[in-house]
Amino acid sequence: MPRPTAAQLAYGSATVVCSTLVMLLLSGTSTGIGVAVIGIAALALGLIVAVTVPLPGRARAARAAARARTSSGAATGTAKEARVPAARAHAGGGAESRFGQHSLRR
């Protein structure tokens, strides 16, 4: 699982703080159980917001892929597939040839 970015942490934290304050003010609860339920709900909401913040690399890659599909059509997919086996052959074979190079192998 990738580590959260600074934007994800900031959005999630701001969501928790703001939603907790708003829910406490709107509900008017003063019991411990009510405050605990609101706190748990705010934490869940903050987690959902933090997870759904788009990552910058993925958004950039998605835009580039969409541009490539619209500009060149299906020819891009076949050209990409033709390059992949050549790149793997250039990298020195597959996992079988690198098996003896692992640092934990005795």
| Per-residue pLDDT at 103 | 64
| Per-residue pLDDT at 71 | 76
pLDDT digits (tens, 9 = 90+) for 28-61: 988 999 999 999 999 999 999 988 877 666 667 7
With a CB cutoff of 8 Å and minimum separation 6, the contacts of 11 are: 49, 50, 53
The structure's pTM equals 0.51
| Per-residue pLDDT at 17 | 95
The Cα-based distances of 56 to 18, 53, 95 in angstroms read 25, 9, 31
